[in-house]
Amino acid sequence: MSDAVKYFREHGLEKSKKHLLDIREAANQVSWVHSLEGFSQDLKRLIRSHSLVADLYGLEKAKKYAESNYTAPEIKDALKQAIADVEACKEVP
């Protein structure tokens, strides 16, 4: 489990969004933030995944959409990754 997933589980969507903005602001000021690049990319992906699943009215409907024969293959791939991200954040360790 990545540090970003652990952070997201502990702090939720809104605090994760704020933390990502804080990292971006700090990156403009100091060079040590480069070490947080992987974490911030993972956190950004998790935020986007949660937004995508929310736009599709939740996890169950997103899963149905991902399995639909009418959904384009590239959309299915992105959606399956988003579903996996959301499920990873909801798992109880």
- Tell me the pLDDT tens digit for each residue of 19-62: 888 877 766 666 555 667 788 889 999 999 999 999 999 999 99
**% of the chain at pLDDT higher than 70:** 86
pLDDT at 1: 74
pLDDT at 27: 66
Q: Is 42 exposed, middle or buried (0-12, 13-18, 19+ CB in 10 A)?
A: middle
What is the residue type of 56?
L
In degrees rounded to 5, what are phi and psi of residue 54? -65, -40
* Segment holding 89, helix H or strand E: helix 73-90
Q: Where are the beta strands (DSSP E) in the chain?
A: none
Which residue in the block uniquely carries the two structure tokens 């970003």? 4
pTM of this structure:
0.78
Q: What share of the chain is helix, strand, coil (3-state, %, to 5)?
A: 80, 0, 20
